[in-house]
Structure 1
Amino acid sequence: MTEGAPTAAVPRSGDQLGRLTLRADATARSGTGHVMRCLAIAEAWQSAGGTATFVAAEIGDGLATLVRDRGFEVERIAAPPGSPADADLSAGHAASAAGWLALDGYHFDAAYKRRVGRAVPLLLIDDFAADGYEAARLVLNQTLHATPEAYPDAPPESLLLGPTYTVLRKEFRSFLDHVPPGSGPVVRLLVTLGGSDPDNAAGAVLCALLQLARITTLPAVTLIIGAMSPHADLVRSKAAELTASTGGLTVTVKTAVADMAAEIAAADLAVTAGGLTLQELAFLGVPAVVIRTAENQAKGVAAAERSGFVVDLGRFPGLTVDDLAAGLHELIADPDRRKAMSEAGRRVVDGHGAGRLVAALRP
């Protein structure tokens, strides 16, 4: 738990909070993270007694089905993403529901934010203090590097900053009493590189594992491919080749994972990208090596490394297979360091962010 953070439980079901409208997109290049983060917020709102609807201009059928299966409507915006027409339609959805609009995405510029902020109460989910944040009634920045100084034009009471406000999906909140891995051997390695992995970092990790398998005994590997990965068939083929060629290494490839929390909780070590999964790993106390798959992940990964629960291997593309193999080998061979990383992660993310956010949104 973050030192000095307030503790708050999700309010009891039955407290009627009204309707929350969540606006986010998912594409092969941007990934699924914005929609998945909004899904965590929607579940927290629903658990507290409210209702929620998603609106999207771009979202794959598989991801839309996942959101609907969690109990939420998904409505399509018939306008170019980030356009004035998109802003008006999104604000109109929220206005008709007489509730908040939650906005999550890097393609919503300052003009868009100001346009919707004039029309409806705006919860801006922000990672970088991008222009237009002052139009929001509340700003949620749950990254480890969030500071009030980055928002000089926002009232202090409007800022919900840092991992204290990390909102986890409901499957994670069932692990509040989870005991993380200790200092034993790595029995299971989890590889999860985002919802799209456009540059096929997963393929590079498999090559690194093949290299390591020649010099040491490796743990069982679970590799999760995102629903929007353009390289899924190639990764499956490479995983099958790796399993067949090493004789003892088992690589299991999974897609459309319904319970990501269970997959993480079962792991002793993870290879991940620099997105939202970092804080999910921290909560469950799973140490990780990070492959940065986008330039905008640098600040968050650096903050996570300073906090002690990840090791940053570098930017991909650019990171070599040798770099990956060396970084993995070092952590697999160092149980004391992994234990310290696990404990550091648990100190950073306590799992109560959902309740704190709902409390801030309550009428």
Structure 2
Amino acid sequence: MSNLTAILFRADGNAQIGLGHVIRCLALADMLAGTFSGRFALTEPTSEVISLIEKSGLTILALAKNDDEQTFLDQIDPNEIVVLDDYSFDETFQQLVRSRAKKLVFIDDLVTGYQVADVIINHAGGIAETDYEASPDTQFCLGPHFALLRPEFLKPDGFGQPSATQQIHRTAEPAQPIFVNLGGADPQNTSLTVLEAIRQVDSTLPVHVVLGPFHPDRNSIEAFQNQLPNLTILQNLTASQMVDQLMLCCLAITACSTIAYEVCAINRPLITVVTADNQARLAQFLAEEKLALSVISPTLLTQFIPVVGSDKLLKSAIQSFQTSPETVSESLVNQRRFFDGRSPERFRALFQKLSA
């Protein structure tokens, strides 16, 4: 391992901010496994996050909350490539990191502020280099061809996925469940809103809801089994188990975050719900390119139509899925245009260049 170029990841994940930053870094680490060695620095990581990182084979560097910035800077080895993924890492902090590290890579989805990193990774679609203010020598890796997805989701066409036509046929099979996942934290318990919408469509539908490790109220989901008798509750699934669930489903209803990209990579009909402000660009891309059947943004829509609740919007979207096979087929074809499973080789080539 000593002859491998080292990478130091810096991100956080908890019940307040969810696991998106951590999952993206772990996806990148998995793609580079065997080529680079890695460490992962976090502020006061929980046992759930520690378990996730340990499964990826990375060494964990726990930082104290009251001095996490300086401690992290002191830990940087000049031969390490540093990967940052957090909204608090502004231009000043990036400059400090870049002055200490071999190279700096910044994973972004906000497109705000001035960037000084050697490489910017933003896998949201519809983003251009000209959208950024950045150093002239900054390199950009933009769009779904640089999707930060775990290897289990990045299988090429030989994965055994049915064709779009076959999938439309399969959606008519009543035994196929609806897959529901609203992220690692789901602080507003949007999962319950989705389940209520499904109940309004048909209370006998089979549903598999996947809760993240920081879900705030599993009891409320368990109580809802009285209204959805074919509801199965799952929690803390591995990537392989998530893939298995997606391969089984007829429809996925997810947060408009990395999980939506995972659904697209597996090639399944998708309805997304915007659960945080930072999901706006991804939501716009999924809607404009028709990768998702519907993109529900409750906060925005209810400003103009206060009488329409999120459950009603979702109910309408589910009913449209059931009655519009041509639209479903189109979305599946569009997904396959953007997700080719080759992110790992692109990132390996990038980091080999950075380490030279």
Q: Is TM more than 0.5 here? A: yes
Deviation at 1:174, TM superposition (A): 4.3
Instruction: Please list the CA deviations of residues 321-345 of structure 1 after superposition, one character each: whole Å capped at 9, or x if unmatched.
Output: 2221111111122222112111111
1:261-293 per-residue CA deviation (whole Å, 9 max, x = no partner) reads 222232221101111112111111112111110
Unaligned 5+ runs, structure 2:
303-308
1:109, distance to aligned residue in structure 2 (A): 2.6
- How big is the shift at 1:166? 0.8
Q: Which amino acid aligns with 1:194?
A: G
C-alpha distance in 1, partners of 2:44/2:155?
A: 31
- CA distance in 1 between counterparts of 2:259 and 2:49 reads 17
Match of 1:241 in 2: 226
Query: Any residues of structure 2 matched to 1:178-327 within 5 Å, and which?
Result: 178=159, 179-180=161-162, 182-186=167-171, 187-213=176-202, 218=205, 220-238=206-224, 240-244=225-229, 250-258=230-238, 259=240, 260-310=242-292, 311-315=294-298, 319-327=309-317
Deviation at 1:41, TM superposition (A): 0.6
- Provide Cα deviations, 1:135-180, integer angstroms capped at 9, x if missing partner: x111111111321101243336611111111132122234652324
Aligned-pair CA distance for 1:30: 1.1
Unaligned stretches of 5+ residues in structure 1: 1-13, 245-249
1:144 counterpart SS class: coil
Read off the aligned partner of 1:37 and give its amino acid letter: R
Query: Does the CA contact (< 8 Å) of 2:124 and 2:281 recur in 1?
Result: no
CA distance in 1, matches of 2:8, 2:263: 28
Q: How many angstroms apart in 2 are the aligned matches of 1:151 and 1:299?
A: 14
2:96 is the counterpart of 1:115: yes
Summarize deviations over 1:220-265 as a string: whole Å, max 9, x none.
Answer: 2110001111122221221x21234xxxxx1111001012222223
Q: How do residues 70-81 of structure 1 correspond to structure 2 at under 5 angstroms?
A: 70-80=56-66
Structure 2 match to 1:349:
339
Q: Residue 148 of structure 2 aligns to a residue in which SS? A: coil
Q: 1:37 aligns with which of 4, 7, 24?
A: 24
- 1:100 corresponds in structure 2 to 81
Secondary structure at the residue paired with 2:169?
Answer: coil
User: Is the CA contact 1:111–1:132 (under 8 Å) kept in the aligned structure 2?
Assistant: no
Matches within 5 A, 1:120-139: 120=101, 121-134=103-116, 136-139=117-120
Distance 1:341 1:78 in 2: 45
- Could you list the structure 1 runs, at least 4 aligned residues long, displaced by more than 4 angstroms after superposition: 316-319
1:347 alignment partner, SS class: helix
Classify 1:352/1:295 alpha carbon distance in 2 versus 1 (closer, same or farther; 3 Å). Answer: same
CA distance in 1, matches of 2:323, 2:231: 20
Assess if the C-alpha contact under 8 Å between 1:201 and 1:316 holds in 2: no
- CA RMSD across the alignment: 2.2
Give the conservation status (yes or no) of the 8 Å contact 1:191–1:223.
yes
How many pairs were matched up? 334
Q: In structure 2, do the counterparts of structure 1 residues 157 and 356 end up closer, same or farther at CA, with 3 Å as the change threshold?
A: farther
Determine if contact 1:185/1:332 at 8 Å carries over to the other structure.
Answer: no
**Alpha-carbon distance in 1 for matches of 2:188, 2:244:** 27
Separation of aligned partners in 1, 2:287 and 2:73: 38
- Secondary structure of the 1:55 match is strand
TM-score by length of 2: 0.87
How far 1:129 moved relative to its partner?
2.2
Using structure 1 for the length normalisation, give the TM-score: 0.86
Query: Is the contact between residue 125 and residue 285 of structure 2 (CA under 8 Å) also seen in structure 1?
Result: yes
Distance 1:87 1:111 in 2: 12
- Quote how far apart the aligned CAs of 1:64 are: 1.3
Change (3 A) 1:163 1:154: farther
1:222 alignment partner AA: H
Give the drift of 1:16.
5.5
Give me the identity figure in percent. Answer: 24
